[in-house]
Structure 1
Amino acid sequence: MIIIDGSHGEAGGQILRSAIALSSLIRKPVKVINIRKKRNPPGLKYQHLHAIKLLEKITRAKTENVYVGSEDITFMPTGIYGGYYGENIGTAGSIPLLLQAVALPALFADDNIRLRIIGGTDVKNSPSMDYFTHIIGFYLNKFANISINIVRRGFYPKGGGEVLLEISPRFKVNEYKNFDEFLEDISKIGKINLYVEDIKKIEIYSVSSYELKERNVAERMAEKAKELLEINGLPVKVRIDYAKTLSPGAVITLVAKTNTYVFGSDSIGEKGITAEKVAENAVSKLLRVIKNRVSIDEHLADNLIPYLMLVGGYFSTYELTGHLSTNIWVCKQFFNKEVKLNINKKVEIWI
């Protein structure tokens, strides 16, 4: 059994999500101790509970001590099984963060998987749903055929968003004699090498609830982002959408496309912050990648680490964040792989 100390680094929920995802994929039981030890209050929150419960169903796992507030859990998967699975996180718990935990093993199930998740599509301290769909989803498609449908948007506090995720696996981990054989076969995909390339297009996804349509919130976010990006000589395509939601809200996502890869940024609307300022926040994050001449943003960096552990690769980013260093540490507990870091004016990572 692999023991993961949840108090490592930032000691957040990401350690738990990564640990149970990797445990599910490799079919090795894991015990996570000191969960969110440095947070107040420590232990499992409802959103973490839902991630464990969903993976428990998909992997037919045995679990111990899984309840809100628990600081030590044990997760013992038996395989990864296709089928239809639903999970209602309740209120505005983050759907993208739940999918972050579930997607990695689900890509390699023994049959097609359909997931129906209800909760928050676009909430603070989480990637937006458009970021997950168009950026993280781009890389997931290298491993399996996936389809993501945002049925309904859900903002804080009521949530009520709905997402359907369908996966048709190409590599079924249950069918291999051992995990090394699986890794050898999956290496056919090739390394994920992300060297800096010129941007060919930036897609702006500007979404707001209908309650904010009279104030043209989606248009104002999009127009401000477009103005700031075009000043920097970047080609832009705009997509505007108004959605029926249980709580009012707004979100903008920027998807930068090169010839071979994507990266991006997002920003969630908040009370007291103008639509223009929300757009400026998203553009500022994106320009940080471009002006530092690195290949990807900080959020994509920590999301990609488990996938680079599978097939190898390279990327550069502008900062070794706590999330990135923690995810590298967690993955190294499961994989016997060398991770080479070069930290100078930028952060370069080879696996």
Structure 2
Amino acid sequence: MIEIDGSVGEGGGQILRSSVALATITGTPIVITNIRANRKKPGLKRQHLAAINAAAEICDARTSGLELHSTTITFEPHCIRSGEYSFSIGTAGSTSLVLQTVLIPLLLGDGPSTVRLEGGTHNEWAPPFDFLEHCYVPMLVKMGADVAVRLERFGFYPAGCGRMVANIKPVDEWRSLELLDRGQLVNRQVRAISAKLPASVADRELKRIRSKTNWPKAEFVADAD
């Protein structure tokens, strides 16, 4: 069993998620200590529990220490199982980060998978759904992945209640990725997304940004949930 010190580097949740994902892919049992040691409130939060439990479900892993505020866990994976999965964080925790924990393992599975997640879709300190849709997934597709993500409902702090779906097919052959040039500007857009707020709030945000950029008005969009 490999021991991983969760306080290394930034000492946050990324070393936890990456370690669990890599353990799932390689079938390597691990123990992670000092989880989120460099945060104001160390240990596991609900979104971290959701990510680890999700990974455990797709590979029948044996685990210990999976409880709120725990600073040490063990994770002993078995074979990855493709299939239909639903994961609920129970708070506004990031669905994007939970998906990233299981996405690559499921791309290496033996059949197609569908993952449904409920929680936060647009969070502070986490990639929003738009990043998955327009940046992360397109890069994976360029590398040979067959992935599609769909937002069904926005989820904001503190209520969460957002919902997204990912359809994943196993990779036939990975392709190398070279990003040597910036490329030409294809499109740009500023979106203000509001939930249960007057439309004037989003309009005011857009007006402020427009005053700083001088971009055409058509490139600014207000969405209400």
Query: What's the TM-score once normalised by structure 1's chain length?
Result: 0.59
Query: Match of 1:221?
Result: 206
2:62, 2:185 → 1: CA distance? 48
User: Is the 2:190–2:206 contact (alpha carbons within 8 Å) kept by the matching residues of 1?
Assistant: no
Task: Specify the alignment match of 1:75 in structure 2.
Answer: 75
* In structure 2, distance between residues paired with 1:199 and 1:223: 27
How far apart, CA to CA, are the structure 1 residues paired with 2:224 and 2:76?
40
Change (3 A) 1:219 1:39: closer
Aligned residue in 1 for 2:9 = 9
Between the aligned partners of 2:218 and 2:186, the Cα distance in structure 1 is 7
- What's the CA shift string for 1:72-123, capped at 9, x where partnerless? 1111111211111111112211111111212121211111111110001001
Q: Is the 8 A contact 1:206 1:218 kept in 2?
A: no
Aligned pairs for 1:234-313 within 5 A: 238=219, 240=221, 242-244=223-225
1:159 correspondence with 2:160: yes
Provide the aligned C-alpha RMSD in A.
2.4
Instruction: For residue 241 of structure 1, report the CA deviation from its aligned partner.
Output: 5.1
Distance 1:219-1:148 versus aligned 2 partners, 3 A rule:
farther
Distance 1:61 1:215 in 2: 49
Cα distance between partner residues in 2 of 1:213 and 1:195: 44
CA contact (8 A) 1:218 1:242 kept: no
Aligned length: 224
CA separation in 1, counterparts of 2:207 and 2:88? 31
- Name the amino acid aligned to 2:139: Y
1:207–1:59 CA distance, 2 compared to 1 (3 A): farther
**Mapping for residues 187-202 of structure 1, pairs under 5 Å:** 189-202=174-187
* Runs of at least 5 residues in structure 2 that lack an aligned partner in the other structure: none
Superposition pairs for residues 125-136 of structure 1, below 5 Å? 125-136=125-136
Question: Helix, strand or coil for the counterpart of 1:203?
Answer: coil
CA displacement 1:280-301 (0-9 Å, x = unmatched): xxxxxxxxxxxxxxxxxxxxxx
For residues 55-77 of structure 1, the C-alpha deviation after alignment (integer angstroms, 9 at most, x for no partner) is 11111111111111211111111
Letter of the 1:192 partner, please give it: L
SS in 1 for 2:199: coil
SS of the residue 2:181 aligns to: coil
For 1:7 and 1:71, locate their aligned partners in 2 and report how far apart those are by CA, in whole Å. 10
What amino acid maps onto 1:163 in structure 2?
M
1:54-93 alignment to 2 at 5 Å? 54-93=54-93
Of 194, 197, 207 in structure 2, the residue corresponding to residue 209 of structure 1 is: 194
Contact 1:144–1:168 (CA under 8 A) maintained in structure 2: yes
Distance of 1:226 and 1:147 partners within structure 2 = 35
Contact 1:204 1:222 in 2 (8 A): no
Separation in structure 1 between the aligned mates of residue 90 and residue 123 of structure 2, nearest angstrom: 13
SS in 2 for 1:16: helix
Report the Cα offset of residue 210 of structure 1. Answer: 4.9
Deviates more, 1:145-154 or 1:24-33: 24-33
The structure-2 alpha-carbon separation of the partners of 1:190 and 1:229, relative to structure 1 and needing over 3 Å to count, comes to farther
Q: Which residue of 2 aligns with 1:323?
A: none
Mapped partners of 1:167, 1:22: distance in 2:
18
Going from structure 1 to structure 2, the CA distance change for 1:229 and 1:103 (only over 3 Å counts) comes to farther
Distance 1:205 1:222 in 2: 11
Q: Which runs of 4+ in 1 moved over 6 A?
A: none
Q: Is the 8 A contact 1:219 1:240 kept in 2?
A: no
Shift of 1:243: 3.8
Q: 1:112 to 1:215 in 2, by over 3 A?
A: same
Which is helix-richer, 1 or 2? 1
Equivalent-residue separation in structure 1 for 2:210 and 2:6 (angstroms): 38
Q: Which amino acid aligns with 2:178?
A: N
Q: Which residue of 1 aligns with 2:98?
A: 98
Q: Helix, strand or coil for the counterpart of 1:147?
A: strand
Residues in 2 aligned to 1:226 and 1:163: alpha-carbon distance in whole angstroms: 33
Task: Check if 1:168 corresponds to 2:153.
Answer: no
